[in-house]
């Protein structure tokens, strides 16, 4: 899988995940990023807006699955070894590769000691009944070990790849949480939930333990939603120092109840700095030109630092856009270097407020299986 818009800029370019190609649109986007709503819709009668879920005890240390370039049916040994090495969690995602649930279902039987999570499932791309069925089935397969992460995704994935309208993302996520909370009670559900109109749905699967719901969040509105209506937040593409801005918003919105903060951290355990800088800039450009991520980094205060990159990208000059990305930004957003240095960098995220770090291996030419071993918690 490759990123055609970037392949001609650096040679040789590694096979980066295709979802990175979502950055091929202008950062200003075909449609603007809707502003976050300032008021959360009232929780319907009989549906609690909060749960008694608390972040899992002990030190957490996760890995993103499935692994790139390894057939899913061949990943059993990889998953089992994760548990043996001391990893506590495996988290999936959903864009254009494997769906979010199947790898976790396999992992639940291959390594029953691992906690499982989705980071994230788009709030638009499944209908409400199917979404509730998927969440309940996974929770039933791994009682007490599954956390469901939901988020807006992006206009590229929702509109361009799935042919759906990316409308009012804050409301869609908030209402999806409300719907799932109601559905998990086993009662009949009817009503309007974002872009969904539900009439008389009753979930036929009642898991022993209702899974926590975490929210993929970037800016303050969604971060507050994650703390107030969700059981925590899922964050990514930010520096350890940025976490000190983001995590307190989640915790304060929780009203004193501790909230989980899961961070997907992009890691390249290699000392080949030229490779990290070159390919790291490709990855950064692919993400930070997506409207939701552009708005996120403007909110974080990087508007001036990224202005030249955005200007060149909007003009169609991809090579100049990559050149405009400062090396220092790669160092902030991509964890690289010897394994011990990578672990120390991960710890800085934890010290800043992340409760569950989840590594995501960037395919920069090293041995991924050995990297999993080298990066294992000590």
Domains defined along the chain, listed by start: 1-30+275-336 (no CATH), 40-271+341-374 (3.20.20.30)
User: For 178-197, what is the mean pLDDT?
Assistant: 98
User: For 48-67, what is the mean pLDDT?
Assistant: 80
Least-confidence region, from 18-27, 163-172, 214-223, 250-259: 18-27
pLDDT at 57: 81
Cα–Cα dist 324/281, whole Å: 9
Cα–Cα dist 95/347, whole Å: 28
pLDDT grade, residue 16 (50/70/90)?
A: low
User: For 220-246, what is the mean pLDDT?
Assistant: 98
Identify the burial level of 123 via C-beta atoms within 10 angstroms of its C-beta, where 0-12 means exposed, 13-18 middle and 19 or more buried. Answer: buried
How far, CA to CA in Å, does 362 sit from each of 16, 35, 250, 277, 340? 8, 31, 28, 12, 17
pLDDT at 52: 62
Report the mean per-residue pLDDT for the chain: 89
Cα–Cα dist 182/19, whole Å: 32
User: For 287-304, what is the mean pLDDT?
Assistant: 96
Cα–Cα dist 273/212, whole Å: 39
pLDDT above 60 for 242:
yes
pLDDT above 80 for 267:
yes
pLDDT grade, residue 255 (50/70/90)?
A: very high
Q: What percent of the chain has pLDDT over 90?
A: 84
Crossing angle, helix 169-183 and helix 220-228, to 10 degrees? 10
pLDDT above 50 for 20:
no
């Amino acid at each position: 899988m490759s990123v055609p818009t970037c392949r001609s800029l650096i040679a040789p370019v590694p096979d980066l995940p295709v979802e990175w190609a979502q950055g091929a649109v202008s950062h200003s986007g075909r449609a603007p990023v809707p502003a976050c709503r300032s008021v959360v819709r009232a929780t319907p009668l009989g549906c609690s807006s909060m749960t008694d879920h608390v972040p899992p005890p002990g030190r957490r240390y996760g890995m993103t699955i499935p692994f790139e370039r390894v057939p899913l049916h061949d990943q059993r040994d990889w998953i089992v070894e994760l548990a043996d090495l001391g990893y506590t969690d495996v988290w999936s995602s959903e864009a254009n590769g494997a769906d979010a649930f199947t790898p976790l279902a396999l992992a639940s039987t291959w390594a029953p000691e691992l906690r499982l999570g989705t980071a994230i499932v788009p709030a638009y791309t499944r209908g409400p009944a199917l979404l509730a069925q998927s969440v309940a089935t996974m929770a039933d397969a791994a009682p007490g070990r599954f956390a469901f992460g939901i988020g807006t995704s992006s206009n590229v994935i929702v509109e361009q790849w799935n042919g759906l309208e990316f409308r009012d993302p804050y409301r869609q996520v908030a209402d999806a949480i409300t719907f799932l909370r109601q559905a998990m009670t086993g009662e009949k559900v009817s009503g309007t939930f974002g872009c969904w109109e539900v009439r008389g749905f009753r979930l036929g699967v009642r898991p022993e333990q209702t899974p926590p719901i975490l929210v993929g969040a970037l800016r303050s509105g969604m971060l507050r939603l994650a703390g107030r209506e969700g059981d925590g937040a899922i964050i990514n593409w930010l520096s350890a120092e940025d976490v000190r801005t983001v995590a307190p918003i989640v915790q304060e919105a929780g009203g004193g109840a501790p909230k989980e903060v899961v961070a997907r951290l992009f890691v390249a355990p290699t000392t080949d700095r030229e490779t990290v800088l070159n390919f790291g800039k490709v990855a950064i450009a692919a993400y930070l030109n997506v409207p939701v991520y552009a708005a996120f980094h403007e909110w974080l205060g990087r508007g001036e630092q990224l202005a030249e990159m955005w200007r060149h990208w909007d003009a169609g000059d991809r090579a100049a856009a990559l050149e405009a990305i400062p090396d220092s930004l790669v160092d902030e957003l991509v964890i690289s270097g010897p394994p011990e240095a990578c672990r120390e960098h991960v710890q800085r995220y934890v010290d800043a407020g992340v409760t569950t770090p989840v590594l995501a291996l960037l395919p920069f030419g090293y041995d991924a299986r050995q990297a999993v071993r080298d990066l294992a918690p000590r």
